[in-house]
Amino acid sequence: MQILTVLSLAIPIVLQVCILALMLWRRLWKRFIWFFAYMLFVLLEAVIQLAVSGNHELYFKVYWSTAPVDVGLTVFALRESFLSIFWPEIRLRWFRWVFWSGMGLAVAYGVWEAWALPPRQAGGLFKVILNLEFGLGIVISVFGLLYAGFIRLFGILEHQRESAIILGFTANASIATFGWLTRSVFGTRFRLFSDLVPAVAYIVAEAIWARDLLRPEWKLPEPTQTLEEMIETMNRSIVILHKYLRREP
């Protein structure tokens, strides 16, 4: 168990260093300042957790004391990528209505699930924390689904980096909920599995971010004609179309 704990902390540290280095190399840290701050924080958090991993009680004190900052930076990083794509659309009333309705339903489902199927063999503060983690995971998962739906609806093409960031958080939250569900249904029977699922989920998220940063960003091809040339080409096409339509059958 101790070896698995160390590996679950060491592997993310390696990936976090790679992600930060790639962001600096591609000069993306200013563009995604909150995501960069998030990665710096979780790197420091993981190093401290690895240093105290031999002390079970101290490890969990560090884990839960840093969790609020982790959550706050996650929210800001998600908001940053979302607004960079949908800043014009948030002025639309129906857009805000759909978004906040989706968020409201996610919160309502998380509350209902925590009430109807609470974690077995967990009580007190630990039970509350697990319920909050599950609720946050549901909200982030729905956020990712709404983002993907809006991207398709508006036909937005230039969103590679933003989508990778949100996809990573969404994958992490979605996979991690299986650990909560396992704990809720089976209690501590499959404790090893339920404890490792969040670590695996986060490694998947980091793999998504690293893979995207290794690739150059796709951009729409620059037009080969000036605006005047495009207008002239369009006018010629319209003249040809008029001649065609006026032909006798």
* pLDDT at residue 31, rounded to an integer: 94
Give this prediction's pTM: 0.82
Q: State the average pLDDT over residues 17-30.
A: 95
User: Residue 74's closest CA among 163, 137, 11, 145?
Assistant: 137
The listed range with the strongest mean pLDDT (91-105, 108-122, 170-184) is 91-105
Distance, CA of 105 to CA of 55 (rounded, Å): 40
* pLDDT at residue 224, rounded to an integer: 58
Residue 248 has pLDDT above 50, yes or no: no
Q: State the average pLDDT over residues 95-122.
A: 81
> pLDDT digit string (tens) for 133-178?
778 889 999 999 999 999 999 988 888 999 999 999 999 999 888 7
Residue 241 has pLDDT above 50, yes or no: yes
What are the structural domains, with CATH classification, of the chain? 2-245 (1.20.1070)
Tell me the percentage of the chain whose pLDDT exceeds 70.
76
Q: Hey, how many other C-beta atoms are within 10 angstroms of the C-beta on 121?
A: 12
* pLDDT at residue 218, rounded to an integer: 78
Q: State the average pLDDT over residues 116-138.
A: 68
* pLDDT at residue 249, rounded to an integer: 46
> pLDDT digit string (tens) for 206-219?
999 999 999 998 77
Mean pLDDT (the chain, rounded)? 83
Burial class of residue 125 (count of CB atoms within 10 Å of its CB; 0-12, 13-18, 19+)? exposed
* pLDDT at residue 167, rounded to an integer: 96
Least confident of 32-41, 68-77, 105-114, 176-185: 176-185
Alpha-carbon distances, residue 85 vs 23, 36, 138 (angstroms): 19, 18, 22
